[in-house]
Amino acid sequence: MLRLTFLIRRKEGMTKEEMQRYWREEHGPLVAGHSGTLGMLRYVQVHTTDDDHSLLTGRRGEMEAPYDGVAEVWWESKEAMVKATRSQKGREVDQILREDEGQFIDMERSVAWFNYEYPQVNPTPENVVATERSSLVKLYFPLRQLSSMSMEEAQWYWRTHHGPVIRRQAHGSGIVRYQQVHRDEQELTDGINSSRGSKVEPYLGHAEVWMDRSAMGNPTPENRVAAKRAYEDEANFIDFGRSSMFLAKEHVVIDRR
């Protein structure tokens, strides 16, 4: 499946609560109503929580400010997405959605990219969701590679070296699910950012981890050792100062999988 990740910063003058309410109650139904025309398989709003996200960074030092949320869209394939969105009706719907996005999104400070998922710790069926009423939270980690590495080199290291490090210690870390989501389809990525006026460099991809708050609030010796190992290996390919990290809750708007 092809996936779109759209990191969102709110429009100036809005509080995070105002922005998330409009997104959930106004924009969400608008997208859902046109989702068939756009060929969407799944659409999820990921709303950043009110946690003190600076506590997440630890040894990583100062990182970019958390985003206010993430819009996630899945299609069956690249071909299905292109066919639906580039039809006459698809272009009309995209214009409608872009106009409404302007009501709550700072387009210049937000950024989107297309990507593919590489599941690492993945229970079946794939129905783990960090809902508002659940004790689960979703850790979002949009990351950029070190300047000494190419995109291909960093993604290769992330997939073949860092993935096994996290998988080996997932149980001791309290991880319920972990995925690497790697940026791809550069032409499509350039197109969506150009159409929305983004001035932000797309990320290498993002890591997403579902965890239970009970495990986060009561660090065990195993948790601390696992966190140390993760950080030490991340430093081999991640530029922390140009990456971000935050906790969020998920609102599943449509799911036709």
Distance between CA atoms of 225 and 191, rounded to whole angstroms? 42
Of residues 58 and 93, which shows the higher confidence score?
A: 93
Q: Phi and psi for 221 in degrees, rounded to 5?
A: -55, -35
- pLDDT band for 220, please (50, 70, 90 cuts): confident
Give the dihedral sign, CA 35/36/39/44: positive
pTM comes to 0.95
- pLDDT band for 213, please (50, 70, 90 cuts): confident
Q: The domain 2-255 is classified under which CATH number: 3.30.70.100, 3.30.830.10, 2.40.10.10, 1.20.210.10?
A: 3.30.70.100
Distance between CA atoms of 161 and 175, rounded to whole angstroms? 18
Angle at 53 between CA 49 and CA 54, to 5 degrees: 165
pLDDT of residue 118: 97
Of residues 160 and 218, which shows the higher confidence score?
A: 160
Q: Are 114 and 189 in contact (CB under 8 A)?
A: yes
Q: What is the pLDDT of residues 62-88, one digit of tens each?
A: 999 999 999 999 999 999 999 999 999
3-state DSSP call for residue 222?
helix
> Average pLDDT of the chain?
94
Q: What is the pLDDT of residues 161-194, one digit of tens each?
A: 999 999 988 877 788 999 999 999 999 999 999 9
Q: Which residue has the tokens 């969102």?
A: 8
| Cis-peptide, bond into residue 125, ω within 30° of zero | yes
